[in-house]
Amino acid sequence: MVVSASPRVAVVIPSYRVTRHVLGVIERIGPEVERIYVVDDACPDGSGEHVAKHGTDPRVRVIRQTENGGVGAAVVTGYRAAIEEGMDIVVKIDGDGQMDPALLPSFIDPILRGEADYAKGNRFWDLRHIRRMPRVRRWGNLGLSFMAKASTGYWDLFDPTNGYTALSVPVAALLPLDSLSRRYFFETDLLFRLGTLRAAVVDVPMDAFYGDETSHLDVRRAVFEFGAKHLRNFGKRVSYNYFLRDLSIASLELVAAVLLIAFALAFGGYHWLLSIQSGTPATVGTVMLPALAMVSGLQFLLAFLAYDIGTMPRRALHPLLSASRRRLETRR
């Protein structure tokens, strides 16, 4: 075990229009949790006040946001509270009853064993359970998952929008919390930031419950909106990892791929248009040259992807942070 013998575990519950479910969620949180942060994100239904008035769990601390900032802003507020109170692990659970608090030990165990810095749920693990998910959510999450793999660098993860997560607090303290996306892109943006730290992340198999709760995420809109954000994060990740922090063989492969594919498209497209306008067939050379450049460029691109997949973070960061902290305390 890499944290204390009795790890201090906190739970963050973003609260926005979950008055019907939030108290039931709190009641099902086990004794392994020391603190529960209910973050009222300027809820029009007064979720925070409802918990403060009707809740009886002494572990609960209600934090009220003055303005609605989105689920990401509420979670960041909970993360800051966990850092301030010296927690070891902070778990995020939604207040709408979709996530079973009984699964919480499964999320914190990989962190306690030093195998991961961040654990997240995966509702696609068991194919038998996927059919329970509404069809729009199912296909939307599949599309978002493939985009997230490229933008975060965690190619073996799935279900990136899953909000059931556990994070090592020492690693949370290293994150640029002010820069994280504040709304539904929060979980994926967090993965991107964890990737820049080279933090180890694992999927935890889980099932989700779909009852009478209301989802505020429009999956159809999210696929298009998130696409641009994924592209932005992919560009940042490649710049950070392959040109600013390090220069590897994959960096050269990517440059070669971009140049060759760009040349193939420009040269081949130009001569294709000339052939159409003049009505004369293109020569063998003007066909073979861009074709050869395109094939070579794709080979370099595949080599880059193979390197990128093979260098995913596997070693947990927080044991090293804990060891460094212990050494500093000993010197003092």
Say which range, 56-60, 126-130, 185-189, 224-228, has the weakest mean pLDDT: 126-130
181 and 72 in contact (C-beta within 8 Å)? yes
CB 242 within 8 A of CB 45: no
Three state DSSP letters for 120-178: EEECCCCHHHHCCCCHHHHHHHHHHHHHHHHHHCCCCCCCCCCCCEEEEHHHHCCCCHH
pLDDT score of 210: 55
Q: What is the mean pLDDT of residues 314-327?
A: 80
Rounded alpha-carbon distances, angstroms, from residue 268 to 123, 259, 261, 299:
45, 14, 10, 18
Mean pLDDT of 296-317: 96
- Name 308's Cβ contacts closer than 8 Å, sequence gap at least 6: 153, 155, 250
Please report the pLDDT score of residue 305 as a whole number. Answer: 96
pLDDT above 50 (res 1): no
Look at 73 and 135; give whichever has higher pLDDT: 73
Give dist(CA 252, CA 312) in Å, integer: 19
Q: Which residues contact 265 (CB under 8 A, 6 or more apart)?
A: 290, 294
- Distance from chain centroid for Cα 250: 24
16 to 121, 196, 274: CA distances (angstroms): 21, 30, 60
Q: Give 166 or 160, the one with higher predicted confidence.
A: 166
Q: What is the pLDDT of residue 221?
A: 64
For the stretch 235-282, pLDDT in tens is 999 999 999 988 999 999 999 999 999 999 999 999 899 888 888 888
Q: What is the pLDDT of residue 77?
A: 97
CA dist., res. 43 & res. 15, Å (int): 7
- Which tokens sit at 107? 């999320």
**How do strand 118-122 and strand 201-205 relate by DSSP bridges?**
parallel
Residue showing tokens 């081949």: 268
Provide the pLDDT for residue 329: 56
Q: Please, which pLDDT band fits residue 98 given cuts at 50, 70 and 90?
A: confident
pLDDT at 233 > cutoff 90: yes
Q: What pTM does this model have?
A: 0.86
Sheet with strand 35-40: strands edge to edge? 60-64, 35-40, 9-15, 89-92, 165-168, 118-122, 201-205
Structural contact between residues 102 and 218, judged by C-beta atoms closer than 8 angstroms? no
